[in-house]
């Protein structure tokens, strides 16, 4: 296991300690625990608060999207493991500004169970809680309700965060975020696995001449294991699956996210984007903007995912709104 770590069991805590030391005016602990992190200026009175959380190993997901115009707090689990309901509840109390709290996270069993328990705990404190699950991975199930959340988390945070900062109430933030996610589809391709520090073994095995199309960010099985193919062919396969599944028609405008799962470098992401843009041009789907880089990762996994979000005027406004965290900055201008 080739990593810059100390004791595997200290991996998550030392990472969070590093983040708190690096950005001391930006983040703080909700109470005493390193696993309950909120923005320093939280709670903001009169603003809907957004809580997220999940297993570690996906930076900037989740902690990196606690920021201005993004989320307000996060419960941080062990690598690829849910944080506890108690941690979620403590974050909820710490960020509640009196306008309710939106739970916004990926559709994974442990997270759903614990956030639902946290909801019950918060309600005994008369904190209004709503939940939006991110289920953007078209490869994970034919049934949308059962799909996992992957890089579409980024769009969910961006839209929900901007809506909350623009004074929308809890029901409105929930409904706008659901609309954004109804318009969002993602799919990934893995080339090589990552290793969870405490396990010490790769999350899956794959031959030197193989790739897996549709693989999940924790190594969940995809829809096809195949020999290595050219970037253009892989990109075409992924885009075809996304377009066949989602609400994308000729004349629509979309935002594109080409995401590295960790080790795949920017150079390759731009080769992929080069093809995505051509395919969408052929289909007369207009590209409004793009995000290309490490937005939702799995430690050092080699692979990529592509996400599309169909836009409308309101979603454009919230997508274009400024946002800032130490992990993601968007100025108050359209930059591309």
Q: Under the rule (CB under 8 A), what is the footprint of a second copy?
A: 2-7, 11, 14-19, 21-26, 56-57, 59-60, 64, 189, 191-192, 208, 211, 228, 230-232, 234-235, 262-274, 277, 290, 292, 294, 297, 299-300, 302, 304, 324, 326-327, 329-331, 335-336
> Toward a second copy, which CB reaches closer, 13 or 128?
13
Q: Quick count: other Cβ atoms within 10 Å of Cβ 12? A: 21
Task: Tell me the helices (H) and strands (E) count for the chain, helix number first.
Answer: 8, 14
- Between 92 and 298, whose beta carbon lies closer to a second copy? 298
**Please, what is the minimum distance in Å from the beta carbon of residue 129 to a second copy?**
29
User: 243 φ, ψ to 5°?
Assistant: -65, -35
Q: What is the rounded distance in angstroms from the CA atom of residue 288 to the CA atom of residue 2?
A: 40
Could you confirm whether 218 is annotated as catalytic? yes
Q: How far is the CB of 217 from a second copy (least distance, A)?
A: 13
Which C-beta is closer to a second copy: that of 90 or that of 260? Answer: 260
How do beta strands 224-227 and 49-56 pair?
Answer: unpaired
230 a catalytic residue:
no
Q: Which is nearer to a second copy, 169 or 326 (CB)?
A: 326
Shortest distance, position 3 Cβ to a second copy, whole Å: 6
| Bridge partner list, 102 | 50, 130
Query: CA angle, 79 as apex, 110 and 81 as ends, to 5°?
Result: 10
Nearer to a second copy, 81 or 132 (CB): 81
**Residues 141, 146, 151, 157, Cα dihedral to 10°:** 160
- As a whole number of angstroms, the distance between CA 107 and CA 217 comes to 12
Min dist CB 119 to a second copy, Å, is 29
Q: Which residues of 188-217 are buried (b: 16+ CB within 10 A; e: fewer)?
A: bbbbbbbbbbeeeeebbebeeeebbbbbbb
Q: List the catalytic residue out of 23, 58, 230, 324.
A: 58
Minimum CB separation of residue 19 from a second copy in Å reads: 5
Residue 226 buriedness (CB in 10 A; 0-12 / 13-18 / 19+): middle
Catalytic residue numbers, as ranges? 58, 218
């Amino acid at each position: 296991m080739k990593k810059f770590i100390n004791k595997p069991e200290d991996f998550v805590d030392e990472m969070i300690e590093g983040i708190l030391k690096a950005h001391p005016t930006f983040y703080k602990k909700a109470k005493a625990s390193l696993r309950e992190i909120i923005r320093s200026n939280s709670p903001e009175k009169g603003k809907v608060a957004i809580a997220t959380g999940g297993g570690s190993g996906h930076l900037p997901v989740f902690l990196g999207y606690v920021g201005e115009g993004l989320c307000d707090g996060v419960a941080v689990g062990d690598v690829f493991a849910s944080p506890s309901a108690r941690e979620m509840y403590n974050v909820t109390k710490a960020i509640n500004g009196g306008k309710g709290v939106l739970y916004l996270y990926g559709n994974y069993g442990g997270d759903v169970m614990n956030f639902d328990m946290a909801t019950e705990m918060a309600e005994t404190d008369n904190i209004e809680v709503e939940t939006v699950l991110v289920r953007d991975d078209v490869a994970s199930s034919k049934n949308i309700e059962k799909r996992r959340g992957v890089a579409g988390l980024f769009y969910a945070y961006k839209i929900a965060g901007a809506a909350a900062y623009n004074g929308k109430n809890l029901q409105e933030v929930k409904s706008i975020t659901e609309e954004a996610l109804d318009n969002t589809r993602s799919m990934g391709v893995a080339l090589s696995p990552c290793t969870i520090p405490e396990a010490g073994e790769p999350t899956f095995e794959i031959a030197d001449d193989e790739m897996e199309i549709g693989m999940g960010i924790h190594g969940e099985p995809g829809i096809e294991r195949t020999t290595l193919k050219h970037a253009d062919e892989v990109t075409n396969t992924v885009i075809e699956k996304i377009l066949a599944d989602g609400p994308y028609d000729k004349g629509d405008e979309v935002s594109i996210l080409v995401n590295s799962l960790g080790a795949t470098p920017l150079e390759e992401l731009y080769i992929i984007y080069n093809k995505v843009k051509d395919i969408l041009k052929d289909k007369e789907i207009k590209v409004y903007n793009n995000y290309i880089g490490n937005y939702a990762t799995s430690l050092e996994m080699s692979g990529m995912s592509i996400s599309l979000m169909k836009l409308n005027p309101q979603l454009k406004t919230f997508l274009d709104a400024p946002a800032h965290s130490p992990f993601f900055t968007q100025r108050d201008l359209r930059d591309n």
